[in-house]
């Protein structure tokens, strides 16, 4: 078996600590080699054997590093990804890909010109509920799907003093990339989007509520995210000509990682709240258990791609399509009109 590829995770906030470091360390084809952080004591408490450096430049200059993972604030993604590619390093960027569509396009062009891997961490393609929905659609028993509602709701009524809530486009660029990527994975790019953003919390500086409608020729997809919702019961509601599928609850992998569960341990990703299929003719309801979530599939795919065994699990062009929808959504919210989603 070839030697594992050394990985440097840049940033040790929630994304680096909860997602990237544990998932990289769990992948046999990768080695968690370096973490760039200004808090070395926190890093070593969690990963005693991992090298810690204070600056991103230390990662760029290290010939032993074969992959850079950016788990840094959104505003840094484009510049840091560009620096990685120019330094000859493949790079994984946490979502959002960039803050602007123009920056995302520039990064894709640079990746294609250099031949270096560029991928975006769209981990929620491997949520248990999304995998269950894919299986339900593949079964055909919903018939022709005409309406999809997808929600990420949380109850965080107090504004916290953190960069994510102090700057940028708020929940649309935080949770929107997940919502949009899942729908594009299922149905491809929509024709147009209508998007409404709002600040609902006292003292809020960025939008904490979004309602977006994606227009397809044969269906409508409704995306919602809210930070003031004490009853986040609906995750998916999918309606077709033969039946409907309803799903409550959020994927458990993030909470499991925060609680210290090892990636892939017994019970990892197991969904204890399966969906429900409702037969349109008989009205009968049937519980539909689905597969366990598996975020580890993302970095398994990255390792394979770096070995030349296939495309990355999320391609740069797919990430660019997500950015095109997010950009159109911002323009729709600003103009209060439907906006076409361009190429």
Mean of the per-residue pLDDT values for the chain? Answer: 95
Task: Look at residue 118 in the predicted model and tell me its pLDDT.
Answer: 98
Do residues 268 and 297 lie in contact, with contact meaning Cβ atoms separated by under 8 Å?
no
Task: Look at residue 147 in the predicted model and tell me its pLDDT.
Answer: 98
Asked if the model's pLDDT at residue 296 lies above 80, the reply is yes
Asked if the model's pLDDT at residue 37 lies above 70, the reply is yes
Q: Is the pTM of this model over 0.75?
A: yes
Q: How many CB atoms lie within 10 A of CB 83?
A: 18
CA atoms within 13 A on the CB side of 32: 25
Asked if the model's pLDDT at residue 57 lies above 60, the reply is yes
Q: Average pLDDT in the 201-221 region?
A: 95
Task: Look at residue 2 in the predicted model and tell me its pLDDT.
Answer: 81
For strands 220-226 and 145-153, give the pairing.
parallel
First to last CA, the chain: 41
Task: Look at residue 219 in the predicted model and tell me its pLDDT.
Answer: 98
Digit-coded pLDDT (tens) for 234-280: 899 999 999 999 999 999 999 999 999 999 999 999 999 999 999 99
Q: How many CB atoms lie within 10 A of CB 291?
A: 14
Size (the chain), residues: 343
Phi, psi of 217 (to 5 degrees): -60, -35
Q: Average pLDDT in the 79-94 region?
A: 98
5-121 shares its CATH topology with 124-293+325-340 = no
How do the domains of the chain map onto residue ranges? Answer: 5-121, 124-293+325-340
Beta-ladder partners of 151:
224
The proportion of the chain whose per-residue pLDDT surpasses 90, expressed as a percent, equals 91
Nearest to 314 by CA among 297, 329, 327, 328: 297
Nearest to 123 by CA among 169, 72, 182: 182
Give the fold, CATH level 3, of 5-121.
Rossmann fold (3.40.50)
Task: Look at residue 181 in the predicted model and tell me its pLDDT.
Answer: 98
Task: Look at residue 168 in the predicted model and tell me its pLDDT.
Answer: 66
What superfamily does domain 124-293+325-340 belong to in CATH? Dihydrodipicolinate Reductase; domain 2 (3.30.360.10)
Digit-coded pLDDT (tens) for 115-153: 999 999 999 999 999 999 999 999 999 999 999 999 999
Beta-ladder partners of 116:
none
Do residues 182 and 255 lie in contact, with contact meaning Cβ atoms separated by under 8 Å?
no
Asked if the model's pLDDT at residue 163 lies above 60, the reply is no
Please report which confidence band the pLDDT of residue 320 belongs to, taking 50, 70 and 90 as the band edges: very high
Cα–Cα distance measured from residue 305 to residue 297, given in angstroms and rounded to the nearest whole number: 12
Task: Look at residue 232 in the predicted model and tell me its pLDDT.
Answer: 79
């Amino acid at each position: 078996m070839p030697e594992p590829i050394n990985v440097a995770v840049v940033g040790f906030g929630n994304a680096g600590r909860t997602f990237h470091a544990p998932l990289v360390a769990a992948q046999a084809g990768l080695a968690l080699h370096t973490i760039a952080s200004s808090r070395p004591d926190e890093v070593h408490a969690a990963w005693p054997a991992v090298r810690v450096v204070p600056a991103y430049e230390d990662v760029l200059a290290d010939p032993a590093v074969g992959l850079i993972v950016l788990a840094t604030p959104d505003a840094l993604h484009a510049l840091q990804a560009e620096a990685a590619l120019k330094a000859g390093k493949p790079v994984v960027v946490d979502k959002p890909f960039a803050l602007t569509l123009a920056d995302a396009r520039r990064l894709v062009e640079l990746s294609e010109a250099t031949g270096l891997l560029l991928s975006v961490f769209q981990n929620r393609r491997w949520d248990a509920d999304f995998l269950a929905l894919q299986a339900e659609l593949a079964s055909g028993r919903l018939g022709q799907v005409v309406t999809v509602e997808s929600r990420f709701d949380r109850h965080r009524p107090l504004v916290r003093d953190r960069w994510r809530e102090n700057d940028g486009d708020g929940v649309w660029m935080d949770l929107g990339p997940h919502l949009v990527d899942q729908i594009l994975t299922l149905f491809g790019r929509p024709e147009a989007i209508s998007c409404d953003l709002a600040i609902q919390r006292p003292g809020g500086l960025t939008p904490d509520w979004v309602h977006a409608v994606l227009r397809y020729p044969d269906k409508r997809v409704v995306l919602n995210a809210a930070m003031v919702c004490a009853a986040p019961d609906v995750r998916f509601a999918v309606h077709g000509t033969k039946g409907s599928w309803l799903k409550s609850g959020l994927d458990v992998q993030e909470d499991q990682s925060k609680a210290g569960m090892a990636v892939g341990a017994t019970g990892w990703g197991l969904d204890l709240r399966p969906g429900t299929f409702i037969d349109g003719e008989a009205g009968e309801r049937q519980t539909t258990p689905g597969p366990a979530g598996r975020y580890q599939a993302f970095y398994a795919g990255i390792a394979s791609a770096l070995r030349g065994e296939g495309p990355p699990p999320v391609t740069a062009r797919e990430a660019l399509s997500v950015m095109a929808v997010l950009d159109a959504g911002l323009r729709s919210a600003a103009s209060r009109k439907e906006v076409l989603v361009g190429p």
